[in-house]
Amino acid sequence: MESSPKTSTGLKVGLGILLVLFLGTAFYASKLYTEKQETEATLISDKQQVMNDLNNMAKEYDAAIADSEVKNQDLISARGRIQGLMDSLKVSQNSVNSLWRYKKKYMALEEEMDILLVENDRLKGENELLATSLDSTQVQLAERTMFTDSLLVQNTELATVVEDAAALQTVGLIGMGVIERSSGKQIPTERARRSDKIKVCFSIAKNKLTEAGDKELYVQVIDPNNNVLGSNNQVQFEDQVLNYSLMSRFNYENRTLQICEYISQLDDSKFEKGTYRISVFNDKELMSSSEFVLK
């Protein structure tokens, strides 16, 4: 029995519909597979970035712990939490929810690190202040010594006594790096990369024989590469040339005077790690010198 033309046409239409459905399903499945591959690649890349960030954070903690003269248990505990998060991230699933949880934990650890490192630098600064307080004792001893010396030299020529005893004396010369907050608050630090400025402090000893009034001293700061920081201006004294970082101007009233000067970074460059040499000159005469280290 032969099929009618109507029946044959219906079969062809049905087969065509099935073919279209099959091709559509295959295309959709291929698209889903491609999207899955792209998503997985993105998650792997993001996961590696979080791992890199955690590694960098761990290195900063290692440096801070190594710099601390006294064991800081808070830094050690925070370093342990970072290691635990890294170990957990290595074996975690590559899913959006899982990666987001790790990113939130990383951001929380980052905030904690900022607080702990600032606190660690503050403690170092307090140690510097304790050293400065010891220098204040030296100031008092210097004042007594100057008074005693003024009595001992009375048997010498009057002109020599006046010239020597009237000279300004600097004591307690120290240098350090400081972090400067937007509020103006300063935090001493030994870390070169965190230093916004170099702070140089010294005391002018009390001397009744020195003429009161406006005074000028030259401050010289030399970095580990033997460069003179600051303005690096020159002043000529007969056959001698002095390169100085800044000129410290102050009004002297015959009593002990504490002076602090600052040298900023140039062209947004960071300070170098190493030993810095600082000197204070009265004209061409070296009054005092010292050194400090930025790590």
Give residue 1's pLDDT: 47
User: How distant, in Å, are the alpha carbons of 58, 123, 135, 221 from that of 187?
Assistant: 23, 10, 20, 20
Cut 0.75: pTM above it: no
Low-confidence ranges of the chain (pLDDT < 50): 1, 156-159
Q: Tell me: the pLDDT tens digits for 78-108?
A: 778 778 777 776 766 555 566 667 667 777 7
Q: For residues 78 and 64, is the Cβ–Cβ distance under 8 A?
A: no
SS3 (DSSP) at 114: helix
Q: Tell me: the pLDDT tens digits for 273-289?
A: 999 999 999 988 898 99
Give residue 111's pLDDT: 74
Return the domain boundaries, the chain. Answer: 5-117, 166-294
Q: Tell me: the pLDDT tens digits for 149-173?
A: 665 655 544 445 555 566 788 888 9
Give residue 22's pLDDT: 65
Topology given in CATH for the domain delimited by 166-294: Immunoglobulin-like (2.60.40)
Q: What share of the chain is helix, strand, coil (3-state, %, to 5)?
A: 50, 25, 20
